Structure 1
């Protein structure tokens, strides 16, 4: 697969999964983590992926992020069959179109926030000046302007996760995949991170796919997908918490004649 953008045609969704199966091991030791499911994701959606431990949600997330290849089934990204790509081609696809945020922040401990955020651009071969400018903008976007030269040890947990999000968005991804992004944070920091993800989705149009076991975090999503026993158990639209909060705080308009 070249670095040229895949071309979508007509109303093809951004991501389309059909009869996705994932089997680990062989013979009598084989374990079917995913037993065949279909899923469409439109550009600009915000999807929370939920389910109990062992339900298949993490395997589904790894498949969506092109980190793992399905045993069988079709995965189309912008109309391109991802299941037919080799390891290097999938890596180029991830590098160009995907950003990743994990429960553990995965920051390099002895490098600054700025340098951590620059890493994806370093792998892409960007110039020093381009990396610095893009990293500064990404840190500002997540509310960390002025913290560029602090190391992770000098940042709170919430700030470290913001650096991780800045690193994920510095290359302008189409899709942001977040795996339990608030799992290591307290309630206040968790809410701040979820509001940031909502802002990236609603203002920048980044498609957000988030694994979470917390209903309070899933409430920020536009859609909630639940897995159970390796199958897609439910797929429902959701009125996001941020929209509900905005509606509650909107001033009441006086009625005519009063």
Structure 2
């Protein structure tokens, strides 16, 4: 896979993407022909009511699901033609994930949680330790690597989750309601952190959110409705 998209090509492109769950009378069409392009280095917020297709689209872009029809191009490579192992490799090397519920291992230290993606990649113990410490420091958590999630606040847990997502130096960070379990002040801190990663490291950020205040940090806001893109607007961003 090339290090950068071919000249003139977007980092991510969805072309006529459909997704249907079930068969026959029980079939549900979650996506009804989505066309979408994401350029490298963008910060994009994805919004829409429940059942609008935003989470399905994020799952497809995150290689957690495949379209029923149409094409998903990542760096001009048709992802729908990749097998399960190839999609796993793409996730492992190019994508990072942050979730509303943090998804940290409860009995494992912050350091070990951050090291986990590196373990899957076969990194040496020394490399894992160094990269995890660096990632924790970059999110403002230097010195807390020995703490378990239960010993950390919600905001700190989400910072650990972000450190885990960026420790592999991904091209894209997919954030699903990253501030959904946080108070307003902490939510703003997390958004400032994501904005900084986008600005300073060039990480492309794709974020699902229900909160207009959080979406205001993005360069673009895409609204989904009934399985389609309802609007795609540029945004000044507040970060």
TM superposition score category, shorter chain reference:
over 0.9
Check conservation: 1:224, 1:237, Cα contact below 8 A: yes
| Number of the residue aligned with 1:176 | 173
Indicate whether 1:11 and 2:8 are aligned: yes
Q: Distance in 1 between matches of 2:6 and 2:128?
A: 33
SS in 1 for 2:137: helix
- Report the aligned-residue RMSD: 0.9
Tell me the distance in 2 between the aligned counterparts of 1:31 and 1:194: 34
Q: How does 1:20-169 map to 2 (within 5 A)?
A: 20-169=17-166
Paired residue secondary structure (1:138): helix
What is the CA–CA distance in structure 2 between the aligned matches of 1:102 and 1:94, rounded to whole Å? 15
Match of 1:225 in 2: 222
State the match for 2:231 in structure 1: 234
**Aligned-pair distance for 1:6?**
6.2
Deviation at 1:79, TM superposition (A): 0.8
Matched length: 239
Structure 2 SS opposite 1:135: helix
**Residues 1-48 of structure 1 deviation map (CA, whole Å, 9 limit, x = unaligned):** xxx446632211100110000000011110000000100000000000
* Uncovered stretches (5+) of structure 1, i.e. residues with no partner: 243-258
The answer to whether the 8 Å contact 1:109/1:152 transfers is: yes
Runs of 4 or more, structure 1, over 4 Å off, are none
Kept in 2, the 8 Å contact 1:62–1:68? The answer is yes
| Residues in 2 aligned to 1:43 and 1:8: alpha-carbon distance in whole angstroms | 8
Question: Distance in 2 between the 1:36 and 1:87 partners?
Answer: 23
Superposed displacement of residue 177, structure 1: 0.1
The higher radius of gyration belongs to: 1
Cα deviation, residue 241, structure 1: 1.0
* Distance apart, 1:146 and its partner CA: 1.1
Which TM-score applies when normalising by structure 1?
Answer: 0.91
Is the CA contact (8 Å cut-off) linking 1:121 and 1:131 kept in structure 2? Answer: yes
- Cα shift readout 1:65-105 (whole Å, capped 9, x = no counterpart): 11100000011101100010111110000000000000001
CA distance in 2, matches of 1:166, 1:20: 31
* Structure 2 spans left out of the alignment, 5+ residues: none
